[in-house]
């Protein structure tokens, strides 16, 4: 790769990248047998199922780790030459060793917070199937706590598309649970909320409150809010909703443990507030981070980022990687911005309803042009294809013909990305990051109510991206759904909906292709391919041990594969318990 173009034409970025490559060369020299053979490796993994994710004629049967990096790879017959008195040898047996999984998009701070909220999700994440069960779950959650009169009660993950009533809970539904406590619920998409009367009153939302730009307050016939809020209309509630996080540092630790249990070694906070950045910096300063964590602060302004954020540089396992833009909403919540109408519009809206953008086009153009020219990576949330058009147009104009600029702008979710859009993205070196778990979680809903059959068959068009030789990634968008990478791989390779129907058979991937998207290409998306994404000499020892080799089974069986161990920077950060293994 041309070092000068690695992070674009910004001279400072080029110098940083060149220095980084020189450092790797220096570390490789230190990693030579002459410097560590006397003591031996810290850990050596041996087995017949080592999947490097690199093209090679003969796969290694042993991998040695010293400190944070891989220092030797070869035949298990040669292990003795690299073994010292304190070397730990891990015999894999039928288990498989792979590069650690990389979270291409998620919200780790929110994962920590939502673990403290009432779980109102439908199966398989929760147990709520109707509004009465949702109310009972809230009451049970409240009964487990000692609540002061004005304490907020917050629930997460309700899904109107899976509730028997096929609607959102309203203020009257939540008033039936309590009028003493303010109650607020986060929709599974994170793009809508529901609140009771007291919560609306505290947030200052009433009949006289106008709809904000990029949001809607749903109303009763008399103009009063019915309790359901869309997009930016949820903002007045958010600070109250997250007040349940009484121990922020403990929530970070809980989230790290959750991610590690799924084999993830690099986590993301893909819409971080300044407060979240400060929290993660504090956790890093306290040496609490046992995984790499990358934040992309959400912004609506084209302005320099604080110098203290040191964009692109890790400090004790944390860095700010760039910025996040929000261009539209949620397809399952029917707020995503589409080029053609929804198959079934939300109740009370016209048949030509297409959703709406979160930002006007001039503002999108200003943001994209500014950050492209500043050499700051961009993640842009664009679920609907009309929002995708906005991003593509903004990048095209922002590059001003300089398609050699190595910007790697990411279209987050890219649910409805069309084939012509993928052609344009490939030419612009843009990266679609597909939320392909949607096929399982909401595939039936998308086919029957959101997009219609033809468009739904092409959501998360991963095979189309392969045909164009594009870099692309996969993600779970936790806490929208758990950061379960094996379920994500299963969903992407099989494209089965909840009802067991195949949605878009011609968009299915092979298991190896899906694995590349959460390792090789996820590292590329993050400008970290020199350190992560494959098992190779000199790279970070970010590793996951799976119970079976996923390449030696039908993709239909991928959900039977469990994460047995996770290693980050050469240290074990997760091991599956004996009890969990026995119950599997």
Angstrom distance (rounded) from CA 432 to CA 19: 29
pLDDT at residue 403, as a whole number: 78
Helices 248-260 & 274-285 angle (0-180, nearest 10): 80
User: Given the DSSP bridges, would you call strands 473-474 and 431-434 parallel, antiparallel or unpaired?
Assistant: parallel
pLDDT at residue 58, as a whole number: 84
Tell me the CATH number of domain 249-578, given options 3.30.420.140, 3.40.50.280, 3.20.20.140, 3.40.50.970.
Answer: 3.20.20.140
Q: Per-residue b/e over 47-72, b at no fewer than 16 CB within 10 Å?
A: bebbbbbeeeeeebbbbbbbbbbbbb
Q: How buried is residue 228: exposed, middle or buried, by Cβ count under 10 Å (0-12/13-18/19+)?
A: buried
Sheet architecture: strand order including 264-272 = 101-102, 264-272, 292-297, 318-320
What is the fold, at CATH topology level, of the domain defined by 117-244? Diaminopimelate Epimerase; Chain A, domain 1 (3.10.310)
Angstrom distance (rounded) from CA 558 to CA 489: 7
Residue 141: strand, helix, or coil: helix
pLDDT tens over the chain, length 584 residues: 222 222 233 333 333 333 343 344 334 444 454 465 668 999 999 999 999 999 877 899 999 999 999 999 999 999 999 999 999 999 999 999 999 999 999 999 999 988 889 999 999 989 999 999 999 999 999 999 888 878 899 999 999 999 999 999 999 999 999 999 999 999 998 889 999 999 999 999 999 999 999 999 999 999 999 999 999 999 999 888 877 767 899 999 999 999 999 999 999 999 999 999 999 999 999 999 999 999 999 999 999 999 999 999 999 999 999 999 999 999 999 999 999 999 999 988 999 999 999 999 999 999 999 999 999 999 999 999 999 999 999 999 999 988 789 999 999 999 999 999 999 999 999 999 999 999 999 999 999 999 999 999 999 999 999 999 999 999 999 999 999 999 999 999 999 999 999 999 999 999 999 999 999 999 999 999 999 999 999 999 999 999 999 999 999 999 999 999 999 999 999 999 854 544 44
Torsion 34-40-44-47 (CA) sign:
positive
Torsion 31-32-33-36 (CA) sign:
negative
Contacts of 495 (CB under 8 A, 6+ apart): 439, 443, 502, 503, 504, 505, 507, 508
pLDDT at residue 401, as a whole number: 80
Q: Write the DSSP string, 326-368.
A: E----TTTT-S--SS--SSPPTTS-TT-----SS-HHHHHHHH
Reference 20, options 578, 569, 539; nearest CA is 539
Angstrom distance (rounded) from CA 50 to CA 98: 6
Each residue's pLDDT tens digit, 532-572: 999 999 999 999 999 999 999 999 999 999 999 999 999 99
Angstrom distance (rounded) from CA 277 to CA 279: 5
Residue 282: strand, helix, or coil: helix
Hey, what are 123's tokens? 């199966």
pLDDT at residue 483, as a whole number: 97
Each residue's pLDDT tens digit, 485-494: 999 999 999 9
Q: Is 541 left (phi over 0), alpha (psi -120 to 50) or beta?
A: beta
pLDDT at residue 229, as a whole number: 96
pLDDT at residue 31, as a whole number: 47
Reference 305, options 318, 322, 317; nearest CA is 322
pLDDT at residue 583, as a whole number: 41
Hey, what are 471's tokens? 């870099």
pLDDT at residue 580, as a whole number: 54
Angstrom distance (rounded) from CA 181 to CA 118: 14
Domain extents for the chain?
117-244, 249-578
């Amino acid at each position: 790769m041309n070092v000068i173009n690695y992070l674009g034409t910004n001279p400072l970025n080029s110098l940083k990248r060149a220095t980084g490559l020189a450092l790797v060369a220096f570390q490789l020299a230190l990693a030579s047998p002459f410097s560590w053979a006397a003591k031996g490796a810290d850990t050596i993994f041996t087995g017949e199922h080592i999947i490097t994710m690199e093209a090679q004629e003969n796969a290694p049967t042993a991998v040695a780790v010293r400190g944070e990096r891989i220092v030797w790879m070869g035949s298990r017959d040669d292990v003795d030459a690299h073994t010292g008195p304190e070397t730990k040898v891990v015999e894999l047996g039928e288990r498989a060793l792979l590069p650690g999984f990389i979270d291409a998009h998620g919200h780790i701070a929110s994962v920590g917070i939502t673990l403290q909220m009432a779980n109102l999700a439908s199966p398989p994440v929760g147990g709520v199937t109707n509004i009465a069960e949702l109310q009972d779950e809230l009451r049970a959650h409240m009964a487990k706590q000692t609540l002061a009169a004005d304490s907020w009660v917050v629930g997460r993950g309700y899904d109107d598309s899976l509730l028997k009533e096929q609607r959102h809970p309203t203020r009257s539904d939540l008033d039936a649970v309590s009028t003493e406590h303010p109650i607020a619920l986060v929709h599974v998409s994170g793009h809508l909320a529901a609140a009771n009367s007291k919560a609306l009153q505290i947030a200052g939302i009433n009949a006289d409150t106008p709809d904000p730009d990029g949001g809607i307050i749903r109303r009763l016939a008399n103009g009063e809010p019915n309790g359901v809020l869309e997009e930016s209309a949820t903002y007045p509630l958010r600070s109250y909703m997250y007040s349940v996080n009484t121990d922020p540092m403990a929530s970070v630790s809980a989230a790290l443990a959750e991610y590690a249990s799924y084999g993830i070694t690099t986590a993301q906070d893909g819409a971080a507030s300044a407060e979240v950045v400060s929290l993660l910096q504090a956790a890093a300063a306290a040496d609490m981070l046992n995984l790499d964590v990358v934040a992309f602060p959400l912004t609506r302004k084209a302005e320099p980022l604080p110098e203290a954020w040191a964009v692109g540089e890790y400090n004790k396992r944390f860095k700010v990687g760039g910025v996040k833009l929000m261009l539209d909403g949620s397809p399952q919540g029917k707020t995503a911005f589409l080029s053609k109408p929804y198959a079934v519009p939300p109740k009370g809206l016209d048949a030509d309803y297409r959703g709406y953008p979160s930002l006007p086009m001039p503002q999108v153009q200003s943001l994209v042009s500014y950050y492209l020219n500043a050499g700051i990576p961009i993640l842009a949330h664009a679920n609907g294809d009309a929002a995708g058009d906005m991003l593509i147009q903004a990048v095209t104009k922002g590059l001003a013909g300089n398609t050699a600029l190595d910007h790697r702008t990411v279209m987050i979710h890219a649910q409805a990305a069309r084939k012509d859009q993928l052609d344009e993205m490939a030419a612009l070196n843009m990266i679609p990051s597909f939320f392909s778990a949607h096929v399982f979680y909401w595939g039936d809903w998308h086919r029957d109510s959101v997009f219609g059959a033809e468009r739904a068959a092409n959501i998360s068009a991963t095979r189309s991206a392969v045909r164009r030789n594009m870099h692309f990634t996969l993600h779970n968008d936790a806490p929208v759904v758990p950061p379960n990478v094996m379920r994500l791989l299963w969903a992407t390779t099989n494209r089965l909906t909840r009802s067991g129907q195949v949605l878009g058979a011609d968009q299915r991937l092979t298991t190896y292709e899906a694995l590349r998207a959460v390792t090789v290409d996820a590292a590329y998306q993050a400008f970290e391919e020199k350190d992560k994404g494959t098992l190779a000499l000199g790279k970070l020892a970010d590793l996951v041990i799976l119970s079976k080799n996923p390449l030696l089974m039908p993709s239909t069986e991928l959900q039977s594969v469990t994460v047995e161990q996770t290693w980050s920077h050469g240290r074990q950060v997760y091991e599956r318990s004996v009890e969990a293994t026995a119950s599997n």
